[in-house]
Amino acid sequence: MLGRAIGLVTLTAAVAGIELLVHWLPTFLAYLAAFFLSSLPFVGPALAYYGAAYGRGWHWYWALALAVPQPILIAILIPIVVLDEARPRRNRRPQRSELTSQGVAIRGRRNKVVRRILAILATAVLACVIVISLGMAAARERLFDLYMQRLDAWISAGGDIKTVQAEVVETCGKLILTQARWFERMQLMTFYRDELDFRVDVCTKLAANRLYPQPEFQKPELVTMICDDPNPYHELFRRLCRRSGLRPAK
């Protein structure tokens, strides 16, 4: 019963991850994709972590607790399966010639099992990278327009300070992640969380600056550093600067 409950939570987290990555995908298709991808080793846990942490708003450690058990179980079961497949089946004491032939057969089976496992893992990882990369590349501009419309709606409604976290900070977080390239996104989600927080903070201040002038943007050198940064990773800042009026719109 507990296992089914955890599986259901993992599936819904994977659905949230897919909807975040490919926002225009209908919900029932997201469930079908999640049902398939969740069964893939390492792909399912990664998707569940992404959906729980960024789609459902869980703390990273709870999202990690949801995603980690499957890879650990796989890491434990793979050596057991390999050893079991390699273990000879015998009912009598073999002769020397039989031992030699059995040793060759065991090594052959072991190598075959290892190659099969490696092929499955490599295929799963490659499929995950291709699917997510193509989905994000196809939907990047749509997602940019979608999240900018949410920011515009908050500004048009008068910019209620009480809803900044829910309507601006969270929207900026999704905007930053969906506009990043796949490897850059992996870095932001793992080793460079400080950089992610910095980008979300800049996005939030740029949005708020349209109603409430921010003291940081009263300094020309700081505006130049943010709005004219040639780093391709900060291309989104240049677009946000034009949207906020700090730079002329194209």
Contacts of 179 (CB under 8 A, 6+ apart): 140, 143, 144, 235, 236
Q: Nearest to residue 240, comparing CAs of 152, 136, 139? A: 152
Amino acid 120: pLDDT: 76
Amino acid 205: pLDDT: 94
What residue type is 126 in one-letter code?
L
Query: Looking up tokens 């291709």, which residue turns up?
Result: 130
Amino acid 116: pLDDT: 76
Residue 226 CB neighbours (<10 A):
20
| pLDDT, tens digit, 9 for 90 and up, residues 4-18 | 566 667 777 777 777
Residue 108: burial class (beta carbons within 10 Å; 0-12, 13-18, 19+): exposed
Contact between 74 and 98 (Cβ < 8 Å): no
Amino acid 212: pLDDT: 92
| CA 53/CA 45 separation, integer angstroms | 12
User: From residue 241, how far is each of 143, 149, 183 by CA, in Å?
Assistant: 18, 15, 25
| CA 137/CA 130 separation, integer angstroms | 10
Task: Name residues of the chain where pLDDT drops below 50.
Answer: 98-99
Which two tokens mark 128? 């995950």
Amino acid 99: pLDDT: 47
| pLDDT, tens digit, 9 for 90 and up, residues 151-185 | 999 999 999 999 999 999 999 998 998 888 766 77
Amino acid 106: pLDDT: 62
Percentage of the residues of the chain whose pLDDT score is greater than 70: 65
Judged by phi (left if over 0) then psi (alpha if -120 to 50, else beta), residue 117 lies in: alpha
142: number of CA atoms within 13 Å, CB side?
11
